[in-house]
Structure formats: C-alpha cells, structure tokens
Structure 1
Amino acid sequence: MAEADPFPNQTKTAETTPAAQAASDHAGATRSKRMRTILMILGPVAAVAGGLWYWFGNPGVVETDNAYIKQDIVAVAGEITGLITQVKVRDNQHVKAGDVLFTIDPSTFAATVQQADAQIATAQARVTALNADVAAKAADLAAAGDDLALAQANLAREKALMDKGFNTRARMDAAEHAVAVARDKIVSIRAEVEQARAELANGAQVPGVNPAIAAAQANRAKATLDIERTVVRAPADGVITQVSRLQVGQMVFPGVPMLSIVRDGSARVEANFKETDLNHMRPGQPAEIEIDAYPGLRLKGHVDSIGAGTGSEFSVLPAQNATGNWVKVIQRVPVRIAIDSKSERPLIAGLSSDVTVHVGK
C-alpha cells in the first residue's frame, strides 16, 4: 500500500495550471465590474428616493423633553381676621365649588352687628328729635313775630306821644330797643330752624335717607358681610392641597393663603422649545404628548400659544450678556400645548413630559 501524502494542499496547488489561474482572475474582475455598475446606478436612485421621501412623505416635527404638566392653582385665603373654629377638608380631597372649607369664629362680628343696630337706633332717635325741634322752633318763630308786632305798636304809640310833647326820650329809646330785640330773636330762631333742617336733609348719594342713618346702615351691612365671610367656601371644583396651616385655633389674616385648590379641567403642557425650533411653529398645529410617569400613554393636543419672551427674560436674575466674556447660548421659549384627548390617568401638576409638534413643510 502506498503511503499517504503528508502535504495534500501543497500538492493540489502545485498541480494548478496557469490557464486555470487566468480564468479565475477574469471571473473575479467581471464580478467587480458588475458590482461597480450596480452601485453606480443604485446610489443616485437611492439618493433621489430618499430626498423625495423626506420632502413629501416625512412630515416636519420638532420635539422637546423640557416640558411639564401645568394646572391652575387657586390660593384660598380668608377675607377677615379671626380664629379657625372648624376644618371641613383634608389634603388631596376633591371638592365642588361652594363646598365649605373651614369656618372662622363669628362672635366678634356678631357683636359688631349689634353695635351697628344701636347706631341705627341712635340715628333714628336723633332724626325724630330734630323733627320735633323744627316744629318747636316754628312755634317760637310765630311767638317772636307776635312779640315784634307788639313792640312795633308800642313804639308807634310812644312816638305819637313824643310828637305831642307828652313823652320822654328814655321811653322812646326803650320802645326802639324792644323792637330791635324782637327782630334779633326772630333772626336767631330762623337760624336754629335752618340748622335743624340741614341736619335732616338727605344727600344726593343716599336720597330719602338721613346721612347718619345711612352711615349706621352701612356699618351693619359690613358687619353682616363679615359674618358671611366667616364661612370660607371653595371658589372652584378641584383637589385640595397644602392644608398644613389649616388648623383649629390658627389665626387667619386677610390675604394670607391657607390652602390651595388645583382646579379641574385646567391641565395643559408648558413645553420649552429651543428658539431655533420656532421658525415653522404656529398656533393650532397638532402635537403629541408623552408623560414620563405613564409609559405608553400618548395624548393628542395642539399648540395653543407661543410665549412672548424666553425663560431667561422672566427669571429672577435675567442674564446680562453685555460682558467681554460672552458666550452665545440657545434660549428656550415656553409654548403652551392644549390637551385635546381625555387622559385615562390623572394629570398631576409638574409631571415631566415629551412633546412632539408637527409643523409640516
């Protein structure tokens, strides 16, 4: 038996003829030429097809992940000063407009109503007294008129006697003085009557009502309104939050918020887009909203409005770029996105979201 060849590959290689090698090289060159031809044809076609697809088939979109859910938050404060006597709500409770939130001690304002009632009664009694005084002064004025007539008649008699020489100058002076006193008394009484009538007069602002009575009635109305304000009610439908300061015995001051209500139906998205994304953005364009807290939830919306200034313009410390070491930074503009579709999950204020706006071509 013949021994096996220890180097079979070397033997086959050595047996390859020059003609076979040349045929193999020619076949490879043909394949390479064919491939180059195909690439030269398909390359431009693919480029043109891609351009047409981008221009006609791919709608223009702008996106941002710098977006957050926003809702209207109503701060509820007391309108009067007083102590909290009852708390009717708790944190995260849903309330309807008009529901009682908390009550304030009304005792001080009830006393104010009683005091106003006393002021009204005093003013009414004063009006009655003035009317009686006017009537009395009218009687006094009539009596003073009679006294003046008597003094004038007496003066006439004294003058007649004086002309005949049967009278003295002293009696004439006394008669003339009596007439002057009677006239002065009439003037004084008339002045008192005018003063009383002036106090009884009605102003143009409150016709038909004495000013003193009107002032007392206004004080009573204010006190009554304060009693109504001791019951603080929800101004809108929403969810209660931040009730930590709402405790029985806590002092309420006008204008100091005691709790907040996140208003129902006010959810929207505030998306901060780069200024370079605003060129083709317009109100009304459709948008898609994805919320980080709810993967898979996609909401429909539209561009409601575009902010009037960048975020830096409304910051507490606006950027001052008039310096020598200035570096240009792309600004972001707040864009309000209205939510059109109803969400299956609660839209909590402050949640992060991604917004895609279809700006078209």
Structure 2
Amino acid sequence: MSEAQEQTPSNGNGLRRRLLTIVGIVVAVVGLAWFAWWYLESRNYESTDNAYVAGNIVQITSQISGTVVAINAEDTDFVPAGKVMVRLDPTDADVALGQAEAQLGQAVRQARTLFANNEALSAVMAERKSQIASAQADLDKTREDLARREKLVATGAVSREELQHAQTAVTNAVNELAAARSNLAGAQEQLSSSRALTEGTTVENHPGVQQAAARVREAYLARVRCDIVAPIAGQVAKRGVQVGQRIQPGVPLMTVIPLGDVWVDANFKENQLRNMRIGQPVVLHADIYGGKVEYRGRVVGLGAGTGAAFSLLPAQNATGNWIKVVQRVPVRIALDPAQLKQNPLRVGLSMEAEVEIRDASGPLLANAVRTSPVQSTTQLDVQAEAADALVNRIIAANNNGKVDTAKRGAQVKTVPQKKHGLSRI
C-alpha cells in the first residue's frame, strides 16, 4: 500500500472536524448574537397583532317624535358640529308654540291685574279709614250736643222733642261709625287675600307667569328640536332613517364618528403585562397602509378585566374538565392627532402594536382623577338661551315693556335661529 493511500482517510477526518468546528463556532456566534439581541432589545418589547382601532360612535337620535321631511347627511359625509342632519315636520310644534305664547301673554296680564287690584284695594283702605275718622268726628259732635241739651232740658230752654232728636243723632252716629269700621274690616280682608296672591313676587316672577313661561320654553325647545343637529363633527355612518318615516325619541337614525379622536385597543396576553405600564411608548402599523406608515403612540391605560370577564356569556371554569386558556387584557393606546390627520384610520381596522417596556417606572393602574369631560357639546346651550330670550320678549310685550331678568334668573340674549327656520327669534 502506498503512502498516499494511507494519508487519505486521515485528511478526510480532519476536514470533517474542521467543518464541524466551523459550524459549531457559527452556531455559537449566532446563539450569542441572538441572546445579546434578546437581552439588549427583544426582551424590552411586547408585541401583538390582536389590536384594533376604536373610537366614539355617536348615535344621532331625536328628542321628540315626528315625521321626517328632510335628510341632509349621507354615509361617508363629513358634518361639522351643529349641522342640521334630519328635519322633522314642524307644523304641530308651531301650533303648540303659538298656544304657549298666548298663554304666557295672558298670564302676564292676569298677574298685572292682581297687582292693580292691590293698589285699588289699598286706595279703598285709605278711603275707609277716612270714613271712620269722619264718623268718629260726627259721633263726638252729636254726643257734645246731647250733653249740652241734657243740661238745658231741666231749665226748660230745650224741649223734650229736641232732646230726643239729639239722642237719635247720637244713635245714628254710633251706627255709622260701626258700619265704617265693618267696611274697613271687609276691605282689609280683601286686601290681605289679594296680597297673598302676589306677596314676595313681581309680574315677571309670579308663579302663574313662571308656569306659563316654562310651557313656552318646552314648546320652543320642541320646535327647535324638529331640526336634529350633529352634536360633534365627524364622518356619517349607518344611516337608517328615511324620508316620511315616523320616528320616536331615542331611536338611532345614524351615527357620527370623529375620526380625529380614535385610539387602539391592543389585546395582550396576561403574561405580556408583567412590565407594561402607563406612559410607555408604542409603535404601530395599520394593515390598511402596511409597513410604510408608522404610528407613534403611548399606553394610556390597562383594562380592568380580561375580555372573557366582560363577555355576554362568561366562562364557567368550575367544571370537571377544565383546560387553562391564556387570557387577554385590553390595553388602550393613544395616537398622535397629527399622524391621524395625515393618515386617517377607521374604526375597526386591524393594527400591529409593539410596546417598549424598558422603562417600567410608570403606574400600572390609572390613579389620576379626570377633571374635564371626555366629550361635550354646546349645541343645546344655544337652544336654551334662545328660549329664554323669547320668554323675555313676550313678558315685556304684555307688561308695558318691562322685564326683570335678574329676579327671574333668565339670560336675555338674542340668538339667531335662521338655521332652525324660526321667524320669532
């Protein structure tokens, strides 16, 4: 056997050992690199693709019943706050408002009559007191005449007949004084009864006027509410109302969604929440845009329970055949409004969320008390102010132009109502 033949197996074994060594080194390097990457980066992030866009879905409903005569918004339309979206037939509301206005005017005039009666009865009281004083003076005079004649009757200077006339005059004067006092008592009783109807009030804040004013406000608001307005600005969706439809209060007609105020609900597994805290930064991607659009957000809250706990049919785990299922907890993620304006999202879209949990110093649960409303609208304030202005004008028109708004607690403010089609304001 030659020398070359003897060295061939040993050369093959050495090559194999070198290859195994190289492979081992590569595997070790890759493993170390992966461990370093996991230790320095990967373990500081938690991600999920079980995330969806959520937002405020504002239902548009009517506050009164009525028949739809116009629809001014369609699905996908943008509507500003205050835009008339649905208009109801105002005929019945106009009639009711006219009746309420007439009743308020009549109530004001009746209240004025009560106060006028007080003044008239006060004048009668003064006259009755004057009559009593006059009757008392007459009685004193007749008594003096009677006393003088009684002294003269013994001397014969005064006849018995004259004495009887003097006595009769005294009796008549006593009766007249009693009648005057009785008239004064009757007038006093009438004045007390009349004042009881107006005591502590003015024409403007008299209970009868206030009751009629409340009816005017109610009728005016019913008239204004024939125009159903958008409480907030947003996109229209789910329009279900049709022209000619008879609607009832509280029935959803359509929805308005403010797409500039949406957030993401990411459902993380319970074992992913160990180091997740409020305030941590989040990177998100939407399936609708793919990886080319990146959203920056932050964790604003962790759910108070798992999704299963709030389901319609909660799981019953007290059974013999129990299988543990990893639960998920919704985590709310706020988005940057500027990014939403540039790349708008729709409610319900799928998202991928990756939370950086490196800094776990934030709170696990929200502990700050909210001091401002989550949502609010001022559209109904205008209606109330305009109703007060209408009431004030009716009172002034039936009270010689006088209205005391300070005592009534109303605000006199002329509010244009062209958009509601009201010619009264």
Query: TM-score of the superposition, structure 2-length normalised?
Result: 0.67
Equivalent position of 1:85 in the other structure: 69
User: Residue in 2 aligned with 1:248?
Assistant: 243
SS in 2 for 1:130: helix
Aligned-partner Cα distance in 1 for 2:277–2:321: 35
Separation in 2 of the partners of 1:235 and 1:132?
Answer: 47
| Cα 1:283–1:301 shift into 2, 3 Å | farther
Deviation at 1:260, TM superposition (A): 0.5
Q: Return the alpha-carbon distance in structure 1 between the equivalents of residues 32 and 113 of structure 2.
A: 105
Deviations 1:40-91 (A, max 9, x none): 7666555444433332354633222222122221111122222212111222
Given that residues 259 and 344 in structure 2 are in contact (C-alpha distance below 8 angstroms), is that contact kept between their aligned partners in structure 1? no
Per the alignment, do residues 348 and 187 of structure 1 end up closer, same or farther by CA in structure 2, a change over 3 Å counting? same
CA contact (8 A) 2:108 2:203 kept: no
Deviation at 1:273, TM superposition (A): 0.8
Matched length: 341
Q: Does 1:331 align with 2:327?
A: yes
| Residue-by-residue CA offset, 1:150-190 (whole Å, 9 max, x unaligned) | 5556666479959969679x979887665444323212211
In 1, Cα distance between the equivalents of 2:335 and 2:345?
11
| Counterpart position of 1:261 | 256
1:199 aligns with 2:197: yes
Letter of the structure 2 residue corresponding to residue 308 of structure 1: A
How far residue 207 of structure 1 moved from its aligned partner, in angstroms, is 8.7
* Matched-pair contact (CA < 8 Å) for 1:286–1:300: no
Q: Kindly report the root-mean-square deviation, in angstroms, between the aligned alpha carbons of the 2 structures.
A: 3.6
CA displacement 1:269-297 (0-9 Å, x = unmatched): 21111111111223343333333344445
**In the alignment, residue 358 of structure 1 is paired with which amino acid?**
E
| Residue number in structure 1 paired with 2:56 | 72
After TM superposition, give the deviation of residue 116 of structure 1 in Å. 2.4
- Deviations 1:205-237 (CA, angstroms, capped at 9, x unpaired): x79643323332332233223322222222222
Instruction: Please state if 1:225 is matched with 2:221.
Output: yes
5+ residue gaps, structure 2, are 154-162, 360-425
Give the aligned partner of residue 13 of structure 1: none
Q: Is the 8 A contact 2:64 2:248 kept in 1?
A: yes
Is 1:188 aligned to residue 183 of structure 2? no
How far apart, in 2, do the equivalents of 1:211 and 1:134 lie?
17
From 289, 310, 314, the equivalent of 2:310 is 314
Query: Structure 2: how far apart are the matches of 1:256 and 1:37?
Result: 76
Report the counterpart of residue 300 of structure 1 in structure 2. 295
Note the 1:1-361 alignment, pairs <5 A.
Answer: 17=1, 21-32=5-16, 34=18, 47-56=31-40, 58=42, 60-149=44-133, 152=136, 157=142, 179-203=177-201, 209-244=205-240, 246-305=241-300, 306-340=302-336, 341-342=339-340, 347-360=345-358
Q: Give the structure-1-normalised TM-score.
A: 0.78
Q: Secondary structure at the match of 2:105?
A: helix
Q: 1:119 to 1:356 in 2, by over 3 A?
A: same
Aligned to 1:200, the other structure's residue is in SS state: coil
Of stretches 121-130 and 158-167 in structure 1, the one that deviates more from structure 2 is 158-167
Select the structure of larger CA radius of gyration: 1
Long gaps (5+) in structure 1: 1-16
CA shift at 1:94, angstroms?
A: 2.0
Alignment-derived partner of residue 4 in structure 1: none
Give the whole-Å Cα distance in 1 for the aligned partners of 2:58 and 2:78.
14
1:224-272 alpha-carbon deviations (Å, 9 max, x no partner)? 233222222222222211222x222222333322110111302322111
Tell whether the 8 Å contact from 1:91 to 1:240 is kept in structure 2 after alignment. Answer: yes
> Which shifted more, 265-274 or 318-327?
318-327
Q: Secondary structure at the match of 1:248?
A: coil
Greater relative contact order (CA < 8 Å, ≥ 6 in sequence): 1
